[in-house]
């Protein structure tokens, strides 16, 4: 069982990746992470730069998604969008 804070719903990365592929170039909020480190782990997984990251499997191939982060009162929010093939 995953260890989540009270009231936290796990992010459904498979659903989010599918939505972004259907809506190319549109930004989507992935999740807000209370710790900046957790947000950076998600960013690396989405960009495909962290093969050991469990969410990376939903966002392949590497470079097909862009990310941006925003600091909020609740932590660090990660946004992503599908841009197509890998960035060269």
- Residue 65, pLDDT above cutoff 80: yes
Strands (E), the chain: 28-33, 65-72, 75-82
Report residue 1's pLDDT band, with 50, 70 and 90 as the boundaries. very low
Per-residue confidence (pLDDT) for residue 54, from 0 to 100: 84
Q: How confident is the model at residue 79 (pLDDT cuts 50, 70, 90)?
A: very high
Other C-beta atoms closer than 10 Å to the C-beta of 23 total 12
Nearest-angstrom CA–CA distance, 77 and 51: 22
Is pLDDT above 70 for 88? no
Tens digit of each residue's pLDDT (9 = 90 or more) over 9-36: 788 999 999 999 999 999 999 999 999 9
**Closest by Cα among 82, 88, 73 to 23:** 82
Domain boundaries, the chain: 13-82
């Amino acid at each position: 069982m995953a260890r989540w804070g009270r009231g936290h719903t796990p992010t459904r990365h498979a659903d989010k990746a599918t939505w972004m592929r259907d809506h190319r170039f549109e930004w989507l909020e992935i999740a807000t992470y209370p710790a900046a480190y957790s947000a950076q782990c998600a960013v690396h997984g989405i960009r495909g730069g962290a093969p050991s990251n469990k969410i990376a499997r939903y966002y392949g191939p590497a470079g097909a998604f862009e990310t941006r982060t925003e600091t909020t009162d609740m932590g660090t929010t990660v946004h992503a969008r599908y841009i197509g093939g890998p960035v060269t």
